[in-house]
Structure 1
Amino acid sequence: MAQGCCGPQAAERNAACCKVEALIPIDARGQIVLPKDLRERAHIHPGDKLAVVAFENEGSVCCIALVKADSFADTVKGMLGPMMNEIMQE
C-alpha cells in the first residue's frame, strides 16, 4: 500500500499537502456526499470504511477529519507498535 499523508511518518512530512477540497452540504438526515473527483483521487470505493476523527478545543469539536480505515489502522500500529515493544522488553 502506498504511504499516504496520514501514515506513521506523517509528522515528519510537511503539512502543506492539506487543502480545502470542497464545501459540501449536510442533508436533513445528516448525510454528506464526497465529490466524485475526490473519491477517485483518494481511491475511495463503495463499501470502503472511513474513520471519523474529531478534534476538540475547550470541549467543543472544532475539526472533523475522514481517514481511510486501512490507513488509520496502519497509523495506530505505527504509534502503538514501538510502545508495545518497549513494554514487552521490560
Structure 2
Amino acid sequence: MAKEKTAANSCCDTGECCRVEAVVGVDARGQVVLPKEIREGMGITAGEKLALVTLNRDGKPCCLVMMKADKLAKGAGEFLGPILKEI
C-alpha cells in the first residue's frame, strides 16, 4: 500500500527540509559549537537565545530541533492569538 503524501512529510521526501547540515561534538560541559556557516545562514549572533525542542518516540526524546527563541514565540503568538480572542 503506497504511503499517502501529506504536507507534513512531502518536504522530507524531497530532502528540502530535513538534511544533515553538520556533525558537532559535545564537550565535557555539555556545550555544542554551531558551525559558522550555519550561524551565518540562520542569522544567529552571539548572545542570541535558541529554543531546543525535543521530538519524542515511545516516550523518549529521539530528535532535537533548534530554532531562534523569538521565532518560536512569534509562531506561538500567531497560533494562539485567534484562540485567545475566542475565549
| Number of corresponding residues | 76
Q: Do structure 1's residue 30 and structure 2's residue 20 form an aligned pair?
A: no
Query: TM-score of the superposition, structure 2-length normalised?
Result: 0.78
Deviation at 1:85, TM superposition (A): 1.3
Structure 2 distance, partners of 1:17, 1:62, is 18
Runs of 4+ more than 3 Å apart: none
- Computed over aligned residues only, the root mean square deviation of the Cα atoms, in angstroms, reads 1.7
Query: TM-score of the superposition, structure 1-length normalised?
Result: 0.76
Gaps of 5+ in 2: 1-7
Higher relative contact order (CA 8 A, sep 6+): 1
Q: Which string of whole-angstrom CA distances, capped at 9 and with x for unpartnered residues, describes residues 10-53 of structure 1?
A: x7x94523321001111111110000011011000001000111
Gaps of 5+ in 1: 1-10
CA contact (8 A) 2:51 2:72 kept: yes
